Amino acid sequence: MRRRFRDRYDMEGFLFLAPALTLLVLSIAFPLFRVIQRSFQEYSAQVGAFQYVGLKQYQHLFSDPLFWISVRNTFIFTIGSIALHLGFAYPIALLLNARWPNVKIRNFFRGAFILPFLFSPPAAALLWGLLFRPLGPLNYGLSKLGVGQIAFLGDSSWALFSVMLVNSWVYFPLYMILILGGLQSIPKIFYDAARVDGANWIQRFIYVTLPQMRTLVMTVILIDFATSFIHFDLVWTMTKGGPLRSTYLISFFLYEKGLRNFRLGYGSAVGVVIALIMAICISVYVFVAIRREEAAV
């Protein structure tokens, strides 16, 4: 048995992996364990130490209406951001991947579309804060078109969409680059074969591009989900969750309860719940995506 194990695995390889694995365990597993442990504890100022409180933090969390508001907003924000990111990134990547009459102009646009990604989130928040002002340039343009003044960040029915839009503006170049890279890696021979079969450009897109890009798009959605779900800086700078908590995200809840109010046990419980929600969502998504891919094959 021992021999067979040695035959199957290169034991020396494990030795070489050991430092990296130790580092991983120390940097991921240990903090994770501590957060889970803390979520069952409460800091007692009288004793000066953490004390075990059972499920109290979770009971408190699930009965807090603000938590559920933040969960709802976060899902809307995440799904909306993914849709907007792909909505901007995919068509632009297709456009930039197409044959242009002048390569220099195409390359110029490839550079130009990356520009928003160079803005730090607070800088983008300040820029869009100016544009969104009630008497700012956007509202001026809208008034010239006969549309009334829109309080982009002051109207609870607009605010979440407005911050999603800014989030999409800042981050779509990242996804555009990833998709463009994927498009460029599709073998040209597939398109040539499709052309020989008489496929027009829509059919080539549906039967060649989309299937070839499926895995990459799935990865892009996963990355986007993971980053949007715990998004903080941009929206915090723009609205701090207002008006009427309409842009209050789960990361704000964690920050305010756990860090600003020093309720580390409660904050840890929030962290654990966030991790669980993300793990469940990602698992379901990956499971469904793999099943679909298998069915397609």
**What's the CA gap between 210 and 179, in Å, rounded?**
11
CB nearer another protein, residue 195 or residue 245: 245
Binder among 243, 275, 277, 281 for another protein (CB under 8 A): 243
Nearer to another protein, 41 or 239 (CB): 239
Which of 34, 72, 260, 291 lies at the binding interface for another protein (CB under 8 A)?
Answer: 260
Quick check: 199 and 207 in contact, CB under 8 A? yes
Over the window 155 to 174, marking each residue x when it contacts another protein by CB under 8 A and - when it does not, the resulting string is x-------------------
Nearest to 220 by CA among 72, 87, 28, 24: 87
The span from the CA of 117 to the CA of 108, in Å, is: 16
- Distant-in-sequence, close-in-space partners of 184: CB < 8 Å, separation ≥ 6: 97
**Binding string, 44-83, against another protein, x = CB under 8 A?**
-x--------------------------------------
Among 21, 210, 259, 284, binds another protein (CB under 8 A): 259
DSSP string for residues in 95-111: HHHS--S-HHHHHHHHH
Q: Give the residue among 127, 132, 163, 166 at the shortest CA–CA distance from 247.
A: 163
**Per CB under 8 A, 261 contacts another protein:** yes
Angle at CA of residue 105, ends 99 and 108, nearest 5°: 115
Sign for the pseudo-dihedral over CA of 275, 276, 280, 286: positive
- Of 125 and 179, nearer to another protein (C-beta) is 125
34 binds another protein (CB under 8 A): no
Annotate 46-73 with b (16+ C-beta within 10 A) or e (fewer): eeeebeebeebbbebbeeeeebebbbeb
Q: How far is the CB of 45 from another protein (least distance, A)?
A: 6
The yes or no reply on residue 204 touching another protein (CB under 8 A) is no
- Binding segment (CB under 8 A) for another protein, from list 99-107, 170-178, 212-220, 236-244: 236-244
Interface with another protein (CB under 8 A), residue total 24
* Least distance to another protein, CB of residue 268, Å: 15
Beta bridge partners of 51: 42
Q: What CA–CA distance (Å, rounded) separates 70 from 66?
A: 6
Nearer to another protein (CB atom), residue 88 or residue 248 = 248
> Which of 205, 245, 275, 282 is the binder for another protein (CB under 8 A)?
245
**Region near another protein per CB under 8 A, out of 173-181, 210-218, 259-267, 278-286:** 259-267
- Pick the stretch among 25-33, 110-118, 133-141, 186-194 that binds another protein (CB under 8 A): 133-141
Q: How far is the CB of 145 from another protein (least distance, A)?
A: 18
Looking at the DSSP bridge assignments, the partners of residue 43 are: 50
Beta-strand ranges (E) seen in the chain are: 41-44, 49-52
Residue 132 interacts with another protein (CB under 8 A)?
yes
Q: Which is nearer to another protein, 149 or 203 (CB)?
A: 149
Residue ranges that bind another protein, judged by CB under 8 A: 45, 132-135, 149, 151-155, 238-245, 256, 259-262
